Chain A
Amino acid sequence: MSVADLLTGTLAEELAGSPQLRVFVETTPATGVAARAARLLRQQPLALVGGFTSLTGGPGRPRDWILDVFTLLRRGLLGVAPAPVQLDAAGRTNLSGIGTPGRPKVALIGPRGLPENNDTPCPLWYFLAAHSPRALVERVDIVCGPAPSGLGRRTLLSPAGCFDLVDGRWRARWLAPGGDELVAGAPALGIEVPAGTPVRERPEPATLDALEAVDPDGRRRAEFGE
């Protein structure tokens, strides 16, 4: 079982099942692979952008689209799969640093667009290569992305499985093999695992075919150390 295939494939399926999305922001190589695979799985076009640059498909080629980004977010049309440094039990995110706001002990990149994209009508997937207790905390040190208010779906994809933020709490949709141990190892997130939660080992065959078609060299696996 490849965690990269499982999570990248699941993200591709989620994007294929979100026909309202017009644009997807590629944040890492694996998320870009997922979006390209999703294009093969969905009927609607899906434009890809890498941050604010390099539109690689879809409608038009906007060169001055910075204001469009925020309009797409407010209208629920833009998908993103961020990898915050910290994600907490209420869905708050942090990419700024560890320690005190304004004077972190360990400074990182900065808030980037997390304040804009964490509470919108758009579906959003937190895409983490590790299910780590250092990253999955009760409350983030620096609140960059506010707690989602339920306007759009919020889903965590990690090597432990797939988890939805429902009424302000994380709940398992399915676990990856061994996911129960990983969930237990990061208890601060407060994930509820209902009895009978299924274990998922791999994406659908058509999804795996799509992954191979767009990523024959397996770039998606490097992100997961495979």
Chain B
Amino acid sequence: MTDLREVLADAVADGALVATGGGELRRKPMAAVRTLAGLGRRELRLATMLGSADVEALLAAEAVVEVHSAGVALEGLAPRWREARQTGSPRVVEWSEGTFVAALQAAALGIDSQPWPAGLRTDLPAINPWLKEAADPHTGAAVLAVRALVPDVALLHVPTVDEEGNAHVEDDLVADGLLARVARRVVVTYERRTDADPALGAINALWITDLVQAPGGAAPTACAPDYGADSEGLRSL
């Protein structure tokens, strides 16, 4: 399937755990997010390590009952994210960047939880049920046992895809590499085709379920090297 609406209608059911890639104002899969919002899905659970326009758009569409993230901001604070946290609706699960990664690592390894050395002596375990303090069985040292987070669908956006279907990026992958490995279905939108060496691909085609061309598909967030963040677009979310 090459039609984004068709792909997402097939991939995302009501109640699905949807993960979005990119980080902050970079490479957010906004074409997919807007299309998903237009499908009228309900009670979605959304997970993104560092959110921005993706979280705000899906909150605006009232499509989400739960958001998992280590932080959400636009060029300033993100109003819908703030309102959700202040009112408790939809439910927000706060992570740190590291515990979010640990939850994906656990999923990648197929284990129920992953020990993580940080986050102890903070308020996170009290407000995030995926985190539990535990003792290392070998040494007795305190760790956080981070429960695996397994997205039903990952939505990622990259600038280019090569002839073998590998995704290429110009900047850092953030958590996209892990998301591609753990999500049950991985939908990658891209700006254009490239003749770059497939060996240099950032996300191997092995992990990608659906490839859909979507020029400008990260706007109003940035997609290096094609375009930067659009301040006006971010303000009008």
| Chains A and B come from one and the same complex | yes
Q: What's the Cα separation between A88 and B203 when bound, in Å?
A: 42
Q: Which residue of B lies closest to A62 (CB)?
A: B172
Which residues in chain A, 172-197, are within 8 Å of chain B measured between CB atoms?
A: none
Q: How many A-B residue pairs have CB under 8 A?
A: 124
Q: Which of A63, A103, A144 has the most chain B CB atoms inside 10 A of its CB?
A: A63
Q: What's the Cα separation between A96 and B82 when bound, in Å?
A: 10
Q: What's the Cα separation between A102 and B81 when bound, in Å?
A: 13
Q: Say yes or no: A101 contacts B97, CB within 8 Å.
A: no
Q: Say yes or no: A66 contacts B86, CB within 8 Å.
A: no
Q: Which residue of B lies closest to A111 (CB)?
A: B96
* Chain B residues whose C-beta falls within 8 Å of the C-beta of A115 in the assembled complex: 96, 98-99, 118-119, 122, 124
- Secondary structure at chain A's binding surface: helix, strand, loop or mixed? loop
Q: What's the Cα separation between A128 and B126 when bound, in Å?
A: 28
* Chain A residues whose C-beta falls within 8 Å of the C-beta of B98 in the assembled complex: 70, 113, 115-116
Q: Say yes or no: B177 contacts A64, CB within 8 Å.
A: yes
* Chain B residues whose C-beta falls within 8 Å of the C-beta of A119 in the assembled complex: 118, 121
Q: How far is the CB of A211 from chain B (nearest CB, A)?
A: 26
Within 8 Å of chain B (Cβ to Cβ): is A59?
A: no
* Chain B residues whose C-beta falls within 8 Å of the C-beta of A66 in the assembled complex: 101, 172-175, 177-178
Interface residues as binary, B70-98 with A (CB distance below 8 Å gives 1, 0 otherwise): 11110001100111111010000011111
Within 8 Å of chain B (Cβ to Cβ): is A33?
A: no
Q: Name the segment of A11-19, A48-56, A157-165, A199-207 touching the other chain.
A: A48-56
Give the number of chain B interface residues (Cβ < 8 Å): 45
Interface residues as binary, B8-34 with A (CB distance below 8 Å gives 1, 0 otherwise): 000000000000000110100000000
Q: Say yes or no: B23 contacts A111, CB within 8 Å.
A: no
Within 8 Å of chain A (Cβ to Cβ): is B120?
A: yes
Task: Report if A52-B172 is in contact (Cβ < 8 Å); known contacts: A101-B127, A108-B77.
Answer: yes
Q: Which residue of A lies closest to B203 (CB)?
A: A64
Within 8 Å of chain A (Cβ to Cβ): is B117?
A: yes
Q: Say yes or no: A143 contacts B23, CB within 8 Å.
A: no
* Chain B residues whose C-beta falls within 8 Å of the C-beta of A53 in the assembled complex: 23-24, 26, 171-172, 174
Q: Say yes or no: B122 contacts A146, CB within 8 Å.
A: yes
Give the number of chain A interface residues (Cβ < 8 Å): 41
Within 8 Å of chain A (Cβ to Cβ): is B50?
A: yes
Q: Which of A54, A102, A112 contacts B172 (CB 8 A)?
A: A54
Q: Which residue of A lies closest to B82 (CB)?
A: A107
Q: How far is the CB of A146 from chain B (nearest CB, A)?
A: 4
* Chain B residues whose C-beta falls within 8 Å of the C-beta of A1 in the assembled complex: none
Within 8 Å of chain B (Cβ to Cβ): is A222?
A: no
* Chain A residues whose C-beta falls within 8 Å of the C-beta of B124 in the assembled complex: 111, 115, 144
Q: Say yes or no: A146 contacts B202, CB within 8 Å.
A: no
* Chain A residues whose C-beta falls within 8 Å of the C-beta of B71 in the assembled complex: 95, 109-112
Q: What's the Cα separation between A106 and B119 when bound, in Å?
A: 22
Interface residues as binary, B169-196 with A (CB distance below 8 Å gives 1, 0 otherwise): 1011111011000000000000000000
The interface of chain A, by Cβ under 8 A from chain B, is 49, 51-55, 62-67, 69-70, 74, 95-97, 101-116, 119, 142-147
Kindly list 18 other residue pairs between chains A and B, CB separation below 8 angstroms, not including A107-B81, A110-B72, A116-B97.
Answer: A52-B50, A53-B24, A64-B177, A66-B174, A96-B94, A102-B94, A102-B126, A105-B86, A106-B82, A108-B82, A110-B70, A112-B97, A115-B98, A115-B124, A143-B121, A143-B122, A146-B120, A146-B121
